[in-house]
Each structure stands twice: as C-alpha cells, then as structure tokens.
Amino acid sequence: MFNVKDREFVIPGQLIGDNVYCTENCFSAENKVHSSIQGMVRVMGTRGKIIPISGAYTPKRDDVVIGLVVEVLECGWLVDINSPYMSVMMGEEATKNVMEEDLSKYYNVGDKISVKVIRVNEVYNFDLIRPRKLNEGFIINVNPKRIPRVVGKRRSMLEILRKKTGCNIVVGQNGRIWIKSDKPDNAELAVKAIKKIEREAQTSGLTNRIESMLDDERRK
C-alpha cells in the first residue's frame, strides 16, 4: 500500500509504498518502492508514477523534436536536439544522390528543423526522419518535462494557444518550441502563456486559467 498521497511532492530516496506497482522514475529495494527523483507522485488506484520536475531530454521513438543543424557532413547533417545524445540525419532524407551533391543547399548550419525520432537503442543511438525546415520564427527553450502540459490532453492546451494567439506553434518533445507570427505582440503573448504553463504545470485547472489569461490580454 502507498505511503504517500496523490499529488504529494517527493524527493530522491523517499518511500513510496510497500508492494505497490510504480511505473516511472522509481526503484524497488526489498519489496519497498522508492522515488529516484524529485517530483510529484500520482496515485491512480493501485498504480503510481512520479512526474519529474526537471531532467534532460532522452530521445524516445516517434517523438517529434526541433533540432538545430550543427554541421554539414558528407553523408548527412549532424543535428543537435537539446539532449546529451546527438545524431546524424542521413542525406537520403533530402536527396537520392547524397555523395554527388553539396548537402548544405538543403539544410545548412543554424537551420531549424522539426524531425521525427525513430529506432532508439539502449545506448541512445537513433535515427531522424522526415525533416521539415522551419523558416523564420524563433525558438524558445522550455523544461522538457513540462512539454506534455503545454500540449495538453488531446492537444487541448496547444489548440487554445494557437487559436487565441494566432501564431504558428510547433512543439518539440525535446523542450524546444518554435513560434512564428506576423505580429510580434502575438508572439510575445504566446511566450508569456507558455512560460506560465511551464511554471504552473502541476496545478489543476490550468487550461481554463490560460484561456482566461489570453482572453484578458487580447481585450487590452
């Protein structure tokens, strides 16, 4: 049974419960389950998990991330995805004649791309496919553990952000968010709302609060 309540904060090493089933971010020692990070415990019936406050992004299969091209190589591009792990995106993603062409004409150093992660193995070697160049706009960095809250259940939060600010927004699972708008005021409003979501991610009723905050700002 659980030693902690739902939505309680825990620190590394804290006892979560005896003989319980806990999925993420915990370890077990002699039938007792302990937290391995600082975060918030969610208890759902007989299962529990711990939502981390902070941590580095580790690539996961099928994640869409926003990468920055760091280097143009003979066979592809070296892409930084805000993670301790980097990968090479193969030239085949842009053209069939990889060796004959100068790949920098497709993606050059400093280009922002949204790309999908596939085939992640135990030492975090992974491949990147289906790149899309993100022209203009700018990128903000957000705690990667807060991204699920920025997207929301069934993308509810993201839809509100897009509709109420009128910006193009692409959310990367690696903590990078690309925003583009013709009106700089709208872009600034989007950044303000995202930073508020990042700060208050673990509170409830956040979607409604963000919606009313955006309505108030637009009326001004």
Give residues in contact with another protein (CB under 8 A).
9, 11-13, 15, 25, 27, 34, 36-40, 52-56, 58, 84-86, 122-124, 145, 196, 199-203
Least CB distance from residue 124 to another protein, whole Å?
A: 7
- Residue 59 and residue 53 in contact, taking contact as beta carbons nearer than 8 Å: no
Instruction: State which residue, 32 or 180, has the beta carbon closest to another protein.
Output: 32
Least CB distance from residue 73 to another protein, whole Å?
A: 16
Contacts 24+ apart (CB under 8 A), 90-99: 90/127, 93/128, 93/129, 93/130, 93/131, 94/131, 99/74, 99/75
Least CB distance from residue 94 to another protein, whole Å?
A: 25
Instruction: State which residue, 121 or 135, has the beta carbon closest to another protein.
Output: 121
Residue among 124, 192, 163 at smallest CA distance from 177: 192
Distance CA 168, CA 187 (A): 9
Least CB distance from residue 41 to another protein, whole Å?
A: 11
List beta partners, residue 76. 90
Q: 88 by DSSP, 3-state: which?
A: strand
Instruction: State which residue, 11 or 99, has the beta carbon closest to another protein.
Output: 11
Instruction: State which residue, 47 or 195, has the beta carbon closest to another protein.
Output: 195
Least CB distance from residue 89 to another protein, whole Å?
A: 17
Distance CA 194, CA 114 (A): 19
Distance, CA of 28 to chain centre: 28
Instruction: State which residue, 119 or 163, has the beta carbon closest to another protein.
Output: 119
Least CB distance from residue 84 to another protein, whole Å?
A: 4
Close Cβ partners of 122 (under 8 Å, ≥ 6 residues apart)? none
Residue among 110, 213, 188, 201 at smallest CA distance from 149: 201
Instruction: State which residue, 160 or 197, has the beta carbon closest to another protein.
Output: 197
Tokens of 43: 């208890």
